[in-house]
Amino acid sequence: MTNLNTFHIDGGLEIHMFEALQDNYCYLVRDPDTGTTGVIDTPEVAAIERALAETGWSLDFIINTHHHRDHAGGNLELKKKTGCTIVGPKADKDRIPGIDIAVGDGDIFELGSRRARVFDTPGHTRGHICYHFADDQVAFTGDTLFSMGCGRLFEGDPQQMWTAMQMLMNWPDDTRIYCGHEYTQNNARFALTVEPNNRALIERAAEVDRLRAAGEPTIPSTIGLEKATNPFMRPTSAHLQQTLGMEDADVVDVFAETRKRKDRF
């Protein structure tokens, strides 16, 4: 198991990262000015309760990215135990257990004095959202953007997911990315099959292998690092297109083929 980590972001948002289930990451987020605390998704109640006990924080919000059980399965139990408020995607409110506040693209969610803008990022599911705390240079991307990967297209299509990638690529390069799973090592191995001569990718894959061998997390990543190494942010790459045999093809078609190959990997 990865060691628990608490990140203090430039005196602002506090982030306590911990593992849940088999490979989920879960995050307690706290505004130190007010003590207001939320949890990003609820994969496992016991793991969240342990993290709350270790930090001494009290839960005020559940902040859901999407409806899948390994992200919202603990909503009702935690709400019953803590009286917390559940925030989740407006586009999928009927599938978010116990939802109190529905948010959509462009909305602002306030965690005490910290502010997150909501981005609609359908593709993995029809109602997936991401939360960008711009002042803290932090984003929680659920199963839309992984380190060197993206979510499977269970309910969306390649155009939707590529549109989502483009939105996230507009965030500043130093934005720290906290995603929903520790998939990085497998994602890196796949990425090398479609961009084998990408020097930044080769170096990053080696670093990921070192971190995992030491039992360390590969999260957070950054938008700048993803733009340099994540094939799902790189369908315009001439190297990637050449590897796929899709030189000068439509960018969405290149993205779609990359996703298909990852699904078979």
Report the catalytic residues.
66, 68, 70-71, 124, 143, 181
Distances (CA, A) of 225 to 73, 119, 147, 151, 243: 31, 20, 9, 18, 21
Terminal alpha carbon distance of the chain: 25
Distances (CA, A) of 67 to 17, 34, 154, 247: 21, 29, 12, 37
Q: Which amino acid is at 224?
A: G
96 backbone φψ class: left, alpha, beta (φ>0; ψ -120 to 50): beta
* Helix-strand-coil split of the chain, %, nearest 5: 40, 25, 35
3-state SS class at 153: coil
CA 200, 205, 211, 213: dihedral to nearest 10 degrees?
A: -160
H or E stretch including 176?
strand 176-179
Residue 3 tokens, joined:
């060691």
CA angle (49, 4, 88) in 5-degree steps: 55
Report the helix count and the strand count for the chain, using DSSP H and E: 9, 15
